[in-house]
Structure 1
């Protein structure tokens, strides 16, 4: 495993082989954040049939934007279940790909970028803040010095 980048992180001489700190931090944040999102997705699925979830869904459906929409409780539960399943799958993939980033895998960086879209959309159901933070970590892979390190 490469040591995290020290010094200036510039592209001078042997600096290209040293992983920048930003890449190390982003990769580990993606791995850990995605792991927490997987746990959150399972928790969401486990609590879909609870009385607390039912009450909160019914309260949202009773408010003006949704009161006249004709959307029912079971429709919302099904949508939440599907979103949590998508989130769990995407978060599992991003955790694995986040680890691959530490090995300078360019394909992992591209796959993470593609997975960020469904991850963010599905993450609105469970933990929008953590999902956004993982997406920001993925975006950090495309700016200097990470971009230069992946370019070789």
Structure 2
């Protein structure tokens, strides 16, 4: 966010307000939708959906309600983030606009589990943030004002009146001209110059940036340690682990056709992906502390994505801690003082 004060266009105010209001409405409707799941009406609706559209993938009514509950939780969490980002958009935060653009497709898909209209309003509003004159406002420019007169595209200032020609200079005396020609200024040091301002001191790194990096490194290191233990446990005796998975699948009639080896392979792939993700988050935290604005935006997107992934197991204690840590990192890095510090480092 730039320190330059520019008047906010009405389009930017409307779009930022639309993102904020639609996020609040989705949050309220998500809570209402979650509380209604499990009722007789919701079970009948889920059964009708399974009979018409979900039978070809082997989905049951209880499984569909569980999927809806997860989508409602994800939509509620996303609405909190998008609401905050919508408020930051009104402050001309370019990072918030970029984060909204990344989250808009996910919010659109998850929001359809809650309502059909508001997620579309949010996605369209985010898309229009990249159009003129809002785009020029974010770039720190003033959009050209159209002129009503034909043949002109912008208001042109009137030409300044031409000044009369200066009178010719009087010839100088020969002695004075020779003195001026032989004059040499005394040598001066290159610095400091009495009329040259001193270079501005670089602003100190805000504590919120350091705090976000510490939270990222600590939480990623904990997740990395836990997942490494899980990976070693599975790979240490894979046959025994597959036997336990097969016994568990056999006790569930709905998953009788699922093979234990496939479940084990998916689990190993997911653990390896999360390990790589944790290492990348630590690297982004280091680059963020060093002042990379691109790393800051990437770390915000990574934190929001990790929070959404951890919400799948929201009933457990450890994923909830990871979710809170990820949300804290995203909020700290999107604060105004952090954005101003990163913007100041771009200036020479």
TM-score by length of 1: 0.85
Between the two proteins, the alignment pairs up a number of residues equal to 136
Decide whether the 8 Å contact of 1:40 with 1:127 is kept in 2: yes
Aligned counterparts of 2:16 and 2:56: Cα–Cα separation in 1: 44
> Is the 8 Å Cα contact of residues 86 and 118 (structure 1) preserved in structure 2?
no
Is there any run of 5+ residues in structure 1 with no aligned partner, and where?
1-15
Which whole-Å CA distance do the structure 2 matches of 1:73 and 1:66 have between them? 9
Q: Distance in 2 between matches of 1:81 and 1:75?
A: 10
1:62 lines up with 2:71 in the alignment: no
**Is contact 2:54-2:60 (8 Å) kept?**
no
List gaps (5 residues or longer) in structure 2: 141-348
Query: Which digits, 9 at most, give the CA deviation of each residue in 1:91-134, with x for residues without a partner?
Result: 11111110111111001101111110110010111112111011
Say which structure, 1 or 2, has more relative contact order (CA 8 Å, 6+ apart). Answer: 1
Task: Report the Cα distance in structure 1 between the residues aligned to 2:98 and 2:58, rounded to whole angstroms.
Answer: 40
Q: Cα RMSD (Å) of the superposition?
A: 1.2
Flag the structure with higher helix content: 1
Q: Displacement of 1:74 after TM fit?
A: 1.6
Structure 2 counterpart SS, 1:103: coil
Residue 134, structure 1, aligned to residue 127, structure 2 = no
Structure with the greater alpha carbon radius of gyration: 2
Comparing 112-121 with 16-25, greater Cα deviation is found at 16-25
**Structure 1 runs, 4 residues or longer, greater than 2 Å off:** 65-69
For residues 1-35 of structure 1, the C-alpha deviation after alignment (integer angstroms, 9 at most, x for no partner) is xxxxxxxxxxxxxxx81111110000111111100
User: Quick check: 1:42 aligned with 2:31?
Assistant: yes
- Residues in 2 aligned to 1:20 and 1:29: alpha-carbon distance in whole angstroms: 14
1:122 pairs with 110, 129, 146, which one?
Answer: 110
Contact 1:120 1:128 in 2 (8 A): no
